[in-house]
Amino acid sequence: MPAASSFSRQITGISDISVDDAIARTLAVARDGYGEPDWFDVMTARGFISNGRVTHYQVTLNLGYEAVNQGASDDFYFQRACRGARNMTGYHTIEARL
């Protein structure tokens, strides 16, 4: 049976539209940089005011990642995200072109 591993990270994002938009933007940045999170918790939400109007919103999210480690798996992205180790034998084709 595969062993489950998990980790979390905090990331902060901003929006000039709404708290919901700040959350959506933060999740998009997390997906691009770290992969799809399995859950999130809003740690803080705040707004900044100028001349009596909200100018932008800031949220800090705690993002949770749950992954299944299948032992001898050659999952390059899982290895890099969880351990920082690079699998030198199995590059993704996009990374090979860079």
Contacts of 26 (CB under 8 A, 6+ apart): 11, 12, 13, 59, 61
Q: How confident is the prediction along the chain (98 residues), in pLDDT tens digits per residue?
A: 445 678 889 999 999 999 999 999 999 999 999 899 999 999 999 999 999 999 999 999 999 998 754 444 445 555 555 655 444 444 444 444 43
Residue with tokens 């800031």: 58
Residue with tokens 């049976």: 1
> Please, what CATH class does the domain formed by 3-73 belong to?
alpha beta
Question: What are the sequence ranges of the domains in the chain?
Answer: 3-73
Cα 53 to Cα 16, 19, 24, 45, 82: the distances in Å are: 11, 15, 22, 16, 42
Q: How many CB atoms lie within 10 A of CB 25?
A: 16
Give residue 77's pLDDT. Answer: 56
